[in-house]
Structure 1
Amino acid sequence: MNQIEINNLTKQYKNQVTALTDISFQVESGVFGLLGHNGSGKTTLMKILATIMRPTSGSVRIGGYDINTQGEEARRLIGYLPQELSMYPTLTVFDFVCYMAALKGVKDRKKVMDVLEQVDMGQYAGRRIGQLSGGMKRRVGIAQALAGDPRILIVDEPTAGLDPEERVRFRSVLSRFAKDDKCVLLSTHIVEDVYQLCEKLAVLRKGALFFSGSAEELLSKAAGKVKIVEIEKEKDLAALQKKAVVLSVTYEHSGILARILDERGEFPVPPVAETLEDAYVYCMGGKNYE
């Protein structure tokens, strides 16, 4: 069952800047990844899906409800964590989540404690927001999104700036939520989060949908094309970039090792195993698949 259906979605701002152009894809139950650089249109799309912003044209259905004509019904199904969530630093964790839950009509204080326990913040319920670390604030953010038992969770760059331990903890929370036939739409530019969590994903580039499908399908685009070549001097790197997509560069004592995507088979060295990050960097590199 499709939890989210996006058809021919376009968003143009009043200054004539087009943020999204003719976007169409579907999101089923589980964790779905939305990848793209800053400025690719991810946050605009998240705001439209969360019914905060209206599209210029096209349609979106959340749990079967059209957000343009049935926005109230759609909102009841959604938990939303924006990229920047304003918090009141003098409130305690418990009082803040109680306040956010009340805005959704949830007044049961036990349910607030339940969502805090889900994100491992129960023991900090009495601590003031201003005393929390960045990772703890993100956990409070996901707790308020979980209040009201949503069916669909929309999270925008939830692990940006977090240390590795907090990122692992956050991924665990999202995975646990999605296991009961629910849906998480995870917007991020961190490929590792998508690799660990998502079976399916979409890639936005400059406001357009570049790819939608499974992680395996995206990987297949780079299969047999990833190679490692050695160059002697840094000035040779510019010439290499004209011939291939340079995925990464490692400086060794013996020279410079460049991990490249050889589209035309110009480099007579054996390919190495491709990664999801290789395929994603290729997507962002201005090249087009045939």
Structure 2
Amino acid sequence: MSILQIQHLQKDYGKESKVVHALSDITLSVEGGVFGLLGHNGAGKTTLMKLIATISKPTSGSLSVCGFDTQKQGDEVRRLIGYLPQELNMYPTLTVQDFVSYMAELKGEKGKKKVMQVLEQVDMAEFANRRISQLSGGMKRRVGIAQALVGNPQILIVDEPTAGLDPEERVRFRGVLSRFAKDGKCVLLSTHIVPDVYQLCEQLAVLRKGTLFFRGSADELLAYVAGKVKLVELENETDLIALQKKTVVLSTTYEHSKIQARIVDESNRYSAQTVPETLEDAYVYCMGGKSYE
């Protein structure tokens, strides 16, 4: 049985002529492991996560977690979920241990042992008595993961957990999420940082303007641009503008007063150097050629 089952999910905001379709007819199933959710800001990733976490209700369609309906069996679903939103408000004067203890009590979990166990999982046990205000950004994100792990959830939902972190903290985060996803548990990772998805996720989905654009493996997404990525040298910005009207420009760099444009040559019309494709190339291509940065 799928850990997460989504059927024809719709989420609208507004009324009558001003209706905004945040999510449109999403059907998706997720098994164990780390599942990546990619998409531009505004694509619907956070909306979908809030629906799964029972923070918001869908306009239509259904969601179930381990067989429990999120609308009819919300209490059962919440016991199975750990959630780290993109912005988690913390109390700066509390210590790490006190903050996680407070969040644990909100879930009906008590006991110093349980709190210390989750702090150990995220390498924060030695900082248990440090105040939140004294932590770095990466350490705060680890505390956020710790509070989500309280209660031993079946599915961990994390929204942009590595945004703004340095490379060392990102590697540390990937390790924490990978360890959790063992033994049939599931991590739903929402991000626009493609390397994190490539390192962690066997399966992924791409949301585009509230619709499910792609669902499959990283290799299947790469197939969209396999053998089609080329490096074109341009003289100036005028040439770049002209090129953008003819093909998908993935990225540009400036070297020796010239522009190096990485493009997708779908019809093999450019006699330029073919270069190895990356998952980032495939993602930007699927998003219409606009870089996610």
What's the TM-score, normalizing by structure 1? Answer: 0.96
Q: Where does 1:91-102 land on structure 2 (aligned, <5 Å)?
A: 91-102=94-105
Question: Which residue does the alignment assign to 1:257?
Answer: 260
Q: Which moved more, 1:186-195 or 1:255-264?
A: 255-264
1:137 to 140, 156, 170: 140
1:45 to 40, 43, 48: 48
The runs of 5 or more residues in structure 2 that have no matched partner are none
Q: Secondary structure at the match of 1:243?
A: coil
Say if 2:106 is the partner of 1:103: yes
- Measured against aligned partners, the alpha-carbon deviations of 1:2-28 in whole angstroms (never above 9, x if no partner) come to 111111111001352211111111111
- Contact 2:39/2:191 (CA < 8 Å) preserved in 1? yes
Length, aligned pairs only? 287
Question: Which residue does the alignment assign to 2:209?
Answer: 206
The residue type equivalent to 1:72 in the other structure is: D
Structure 1 moving runs of 4+ over 2 Å? 268-271
**Per-residue deviation at 1:137?**
0.6
- Measured against aligned partners, the alpha-carbon deviations of 1:23-74 in whole angstroms (never above 9, x if no partner) come to 1111110000000111111110010011100000011111111111111111
Q: Where does 1:239-258 land on structure 2 (aligned, <5 Å)?
A: 239-253=242-256, 255-258=258-261
The residue type equivalent to 1:231 in the other structure is: L
Q: Where does 1:141-156 land on structure 2 (aligned, <5 Å)?
A: 141-156=144-159
Q: Secondary structure at the match of 2:212?
A: strand
**Per-residue deviation at 1:264?**
2.0
The residue type equivalent to 1:160 in the other structure is: A
Say if 2:222 is the partner of 1:219: yes
The residue type equivalent to 1:213 in the other structure is: G
**Per-residue deviation at 1:286?**
6.4
Say if 2:26 is the partner of 1:23: yes
What's the TM-score, normalizing by structure 2? Answer: 0.95
Say if 2:130 is the partner of 1:89: no
Question: Which residue does the alignment assign to 1:280?
Answer: 283
Question: Which residue does the alignment assign to 2:3?
Answer: 3
- Contact 2:250/2:289 (CA < 8 Å) preserved in 1? no
**Per-residue deviation at 1:253?**
1.2
Q: Which moved more, 1:168-177 or 1:64-73?
A: 64-73
Question: Which residue does the alignment assign to 1:234?
Answer: 237
The runs of 5 or more residues in structure 1 that have no matched partner are none
The residue type equivalent to 2:53 in the other structure is: A
The residue type equivalent to 2:247 in the other structure is: A
Q: Where does 1:46-195 land on structure 2 (aligned, <5 Å)?
A: 46-195=49-198
- Measured against aligned partners, the alpha-carbon deviations of 1:113-159 in whole angstroms (never above 9, x if no partner) come to 01001101101100111111111110000000000000100000001
Question: Which residue does the alignment assign to 2:274?
Answer: 271
Q: Secondary structure at the match of 1:91?
A: coil
Aligned-residue RMSD, C-alpha: 1.2
The residue type equivalent to 1:27 in the other structure is: V
Q: Which moved more, 1:14-23 or 1:275-284?
A: 14-23
Q: Secondary structure at the match of 1:76?
A: helix
Q: Secondary structure at the match of 1:249?
A: strand
How far apart, CA to CA, are the structure 2 residues paired with 1:212 and 1:164? 27
How far apart, CA to CA, are the structure 1 residues paired with 2:234 and 2:172? 40
The residue type equivalent to 1:189 in the other structure is: H
- Contact 2:232/2:273 (CA < 8 Å) preserved in 1? no
Q: Which moved more, 1:150-159 or 1:277-286?
A: 277-286
The residue type equivalent to 2:255 in the other structure is: E
How far apart, CA to CA, are the structure 2 residues paired with 1:98 and 1:228? 53
Q: Secondary structure at the match of 1:221?
A: coil
**Per-residue deviation at 1:280?**
0.3
- Contact 2:11/2:23 (CA < 8 Å) preserved in 1? yes
- Contact 2:249/2:289 (CA < 8 Å) preserved in 1? no
How far apart, CA to CA, are the structure 2 residues paired with 1:243 and 1:225? 15
